[in-house]
A and B are shown apart, each in its own frame.
Chain A
Amino acid sequence: MHLYTLTNSNNNFRMIIMKPMKFLKLPALLAFMLLLTGCGSSLVLENVDYSQPLESVLSPDSDGVVHDQRYAIQFNITPLLEYEGTDSVEEIRLIRNTPGFYFVTADGFSNVYIFSPGEGELSLHEEVELPDGPISEPAFNQRTTHIELIYQSSGQTYNLDQNGIR
């Protein structure tokens, strides 16, 4: 569509410049190039699948940093622990769904936190408070349409997406 518009404009422009003002040919060409560059910046690849097939189980180091080498992400969980109101966890469980949101929780957490990735940051997109209280032995499974949260101790399951419990 953009290209189409650009092509028509270019034809009109050429008709204008061909006869009286040949000396304006070079600036016109430059303007055309600029227009083309502007069109390239709006390129969008769709239907991207960000989903991790398996959750990552990550242990924070002494500074609270977790590093997932397989899926190449590293962040500090200290603010999250403060937000959750706990001092420490042995490991956190992390999974990314198809649209690209990160789901984070840990044993003893009362919530599942859903983050959206930004430029050098993860922003809390949704905080899901679970009805059964603190989560015992949680695990995430990637499913076709959602993320499955299971309580391994009880077998209780919840289906989640980036907006919360489905």
Chain B
Amino acid sequence: MNAPIKKIYITTTILLLAFLQTALVAQQSDYQIQQNFSAELSELTQRIDTTQSPGELAKLEIELDELRSRYAEHEELINAALYPETYQKRMNETEEQLSVALDNASVIDQLNSRITSLVGEIDAYRSQITDLNENTQALREQLQRAESNEERQAALLTQYRQSLEERNSFVSGFLQNLMSRYQNVDLGTQQEIAEAAERLDDNPIEILKSIILDYINIVDESTSLETPDYVAMRAQHEYFSEVWNSIGSNLVNTFSPENSSETKTEIDELMAAWVLSVDNQLWESLNDTFSQNGIDLEVFTTPDEFYDAIYNYVDNGHVTSLERNSEEDFAVYQNFSTFWNETVKAEWGDMLIEGEILSQSQISEIDIKLNDWEEASKPTSNLMFILLIVSVAVIVGLIVLLITKKN
């Protein structure tokens, strides 16, 4: 192909393309353009409404940008069709809708992550508490089998107590975790978590129920436990109760929103059954322990009655000492004082307060009364009286001697 022909060919091609493009542009219907715009925008807004995935919404954002660039040249035409609305208003509204959807998707994404994390934690908790329960159960069975061997039983009991302490510590950690998450959670977040939590097979409420049932089971089935163990259990119950009072409503609203009231009542009843099981053992065990240490208290079955029994015992001792001031009374005082200070206060004191068996002020009142008892029970000494008689005798002797010498 020579140069002039080539030039003509190129020019013809350019003109043809220009003509075709003009024809292509010319054959568009203005009405159809605005119809297409409205239809495409409407379809896009519907998709934004129904899309929750951030990734999908990002694709829709690109599509919206493409739509904007595609129809920008027809803005005037579309404004005429949409009057009194405008192209810009529609596009801005859709962008705002997309922005809100992206924000919502981000929140949902975070919630999904939170739920995934929660599921992992719950699984881990379930696994660990199951291991602890199995360990406790095995030790309990061994204790029952080792009744004939006191030395072995004592060793197993120590292990068993350690196992219970470990379990308590683990449960307390779990409760602390729940506290930090749900104590101040607002209503909106509760609802969002509730929606996401519908997918959970297990949830913190169910775990709390099983923990309480396990505690009741441990109390009812353990025969080798002693007073400190029951005091510790009551302390654990009170801590549990404190946490439940603090976050119970938020937890049931979050994880059992459809029947929150019933779920809360169920847990409250389980809590009451737990403390009843502990108390059934605790008061009897406390009475036995005091009795074994030579302290016979009045019958008690509540914390207030327990305080009254101790206070009355000390008060009676004080009154008796005031009346008799005998060596025997002083011995009774010493026995009580030793047990009270070295065992009750030193070993159980914190747990008695945590378990709301005795309050700090009640312990103080008993201490004050005990001081009075101490004063009253101390045997009075005759030494001063003897010295006085000796002194008088000496003085009388000297006077007699003096008179005799003068005479």
Contacts and interface: CB of A to CB of B under 8 A. Distances in A.
A152 B27 CA distance: 6
Contacts of B28: 141, 150
Contacts of B24: 155
B27 A157 contact: yes
Interface in A73-101: 93
Interface stretch (A14-22, A53-61, A102-110, A124-132): A53-61
B20 to A, nearest CB: 10
Contacts of A141: 28-30
Interface size class of A (residues with CB under 8 A): 10 to 19
A107 to B, nearest CB: 12
B77 interface: yes
Contacts of A142: 30
Nearest to B20: A155
A53 B81 contact: yes
A57 B31 CA distance: 8
B80 to A, nearest CB: 4
Given A53-B81, A157-B27, A152 B32 contact: yes
Contacts of B256: none
Contact of B34 (A54, A151, A156): A54
Interface string B1-41: 00000000000000000000001101111111010000000
Interface in A147-165: 148, 150-152, 155-157
A11 B31 CA distance: 60
A89 to B, nearest CB: 16
A139 B32 contact: yes
Given A53-B77, A54-B77, A155 B23 contact: yes
A139 B33 CA distance: 11
Nearest to A152: B29
Contacts of B32: 139, 152
Contacts of A155: 23-24, 26-27
Contacts of A93: 31
B331 to A, nearest CB: 110
A54 B34 CA distance: 9
B27 A54 contact: no
Nearest to A139: B29
A93 B26 CA distance: 18
A164 B243 CA distance: 88
A126 to B, nearest CB: 22
B23 A55 contact: no
Contacts of B23: 155, 157
B26 A54 contact: no
A150 B81 contact: no
Contact of A53 (B26, B27, B29, B80): B80
Interface in A2-23: none
Nearest to A148: B26
A150 B31 CA distance: 12
A87 to B, nearest CB: 25
A55 B31 contact: yes
Contacts of A151: 27
Among B24, B29, B80, find the residue whose CB has the most chain A CB atoms closer than 10 A. B29
A142 B27 CA distance: 13
A150 B77 contact: no
A130 B243 CA distance: 87
A152 B28 CA distance: 7
Nearest to B27: A155
A66 to B, nearest CB: 15
Contacts of A54: 30-31, 34, 77, 80-81
Nearest to A53: B80
Interface string B388-400: 0000000000000
A67 B280 CA distance: 88
Interface in B31-74: 31-32, 34
Interface in A31-65: 53-55, 57
Nearest to B30: A141
B121 to A, nearest CB: 61
B338 to A, nearest CB: 102
Nearest to A155: B27
Contacts of B80: 53-54
Contacts of B34: 54
A55 B32 CA distance: 10
B31 A139 contact: yes
Interface string B124-167: 00000000000000000000000000000000000000000000
A111 to B, nearest CB: 19
A157 B31 contact: no
B407 to A, nearest CB: 155
B36 to A, nearest CB: 12
Among A53, A93, A156, A157, find the residue whose CB has the most chain B CB atoms closer than 10 A. A53
8 contacts: A53-B77, A55-B29, A55-B30, A93-B31, A141-B29, A155-B26, A156-B27, A157-B26
- CB-based closest 5 A-B pairs: A139-B29, A53-B80, A155-B27, A141-B30, A55-B31
Given A57-B31, A141-B29, A155-B23, 17 more contacts: A53-B77, A53-B81, A54-B31, A54-B80, A55-B29, A93-B31, A139-B31, A139-B32, A142-B30, A150-B26, A150-B28, A151-B27, A152-B29, A155-B26, A156-B27, A157-B26, A157-B27
